[in-house]
Amino acid sequence: MKGTKEVIIKTLLSTALGLLISTSCIANNIYESFPSEINAKEKYVFYSHGFIVEGTNPTPVNPRWGMYDFPNIKKALSDESYNLIAYHRPKGTDPRSYAKKLANEVNSLINKGVKAENITFIGFSRGGAITVLTSNYLADERINFVILAGCSGFVKSNPELTVFGQVFSIFETSDGAGSCQFLIDRNNKVNSFEEISISTGKEHGAFYNPLPEWVVPVKRWIKEKHST
């Protein structure tokens, strides 16, 4: 009887340890600043918001497109398979300087053992332009980039900008910021390019809220690109 109890206790402890280990490998963290501890085996996704959010208000309102729901966008983009890093940029952020900061953080992740294939950037509008700049500065064909309605004025007026790696673009058909195909055509340094359009009728505001039309394909694409 005593031997049976010992076996049961050992089995329970072993199971608990296994659960603890498996749980520790699950990411699903949302960071508002660069993580102080990096796990080389985990995956990291950066999200850069639109211009309207720059400042101190995480839910600013545009008179045409409504409220930008930054907090719920972060929640929707988070996932147990990766860590989400989503900074609230200060007012007056310089896109180029900010992109260089992000590129330095990527190099820090890689230096600490994170696979470049397990690093992804998502950027909307001004954040999309920052994402393109970051790709241009890194010039790393292993990293993944998602551009949401980000190929408009700034990117078009700077023909020297080049994107590298795996690129996924989503644009809204009722929006003025259209396809990113021109960006790929003028400096083709990408390993893969995929683009889809959505038609919500919400113009640029389609990306102001975590609509499934764009959140679902973005998360699916990320999981496909991250190495195992």
Q: What is d(CA 54, CA 98) in angstroms, rounded to the nearest whole number?
A: 12
- Number of helices (H), then strands (E), in the chain: 7, 9
Domain boundaries, the chain: 28-225
The per-residue pLDDT for 129 is 96
Q: At what angle are helices 126-138 and 95-111 packed, to 10 degrees?
A: 50
Topology at the third CATH level for domain 28-225: Rossmann fold (3.40.50)
For 61, half-sphere exposure in the C-beta direction (CA atoms, 13 angstrom radius) is 2
With 0-12 / 13-18 / 19 or more C-beta atoms within 10 angstroms meaning exposed / middle / buried, residue 90 is exposed
Strand 83-85 relative to strand 189-198, pairing: unpaired
- Model confidence pLDDT, tens digit, residues 171-186: 999 999 999 999 999 8
Task: Quote the pLDDT of residue 188.
Answer: 82
H-helix or E-strand containing 83? Answer: strand 83-85
**Cα 5 to Cα 133: distance, rounded to the nearest angstrom:** 62
Nearest 10 degrees: CA dihedral of 91, 48, 35, 80? 140
Statement: the pTM of the whole predicted model exceeds 0.75:
yes
What sign results for the dihedral spanned by CA atoms 152, 209, 223, 142?
A: positive
Tens of each residue's pLDDT in the chain, 228 residues: 545 445 444 444 344 434 333 333 456 799 999 999 999 999 999 999 999 999 999 999 999 999 999 999 999 999 999 999 999 999 999 999 999 999 999 999 999 999 999 999 999 999 999 999 999 999 999 999 999 999 988 999 999 999 999 999 999 999 999 999 999 998 888 999 999 999 999 999 999 999 999 999 999 999 999 976
pLDDT score for 27: 61
pLDDT digits (tens, 9 = 90+) for 96-114: 999 999 999 999 999 999 9
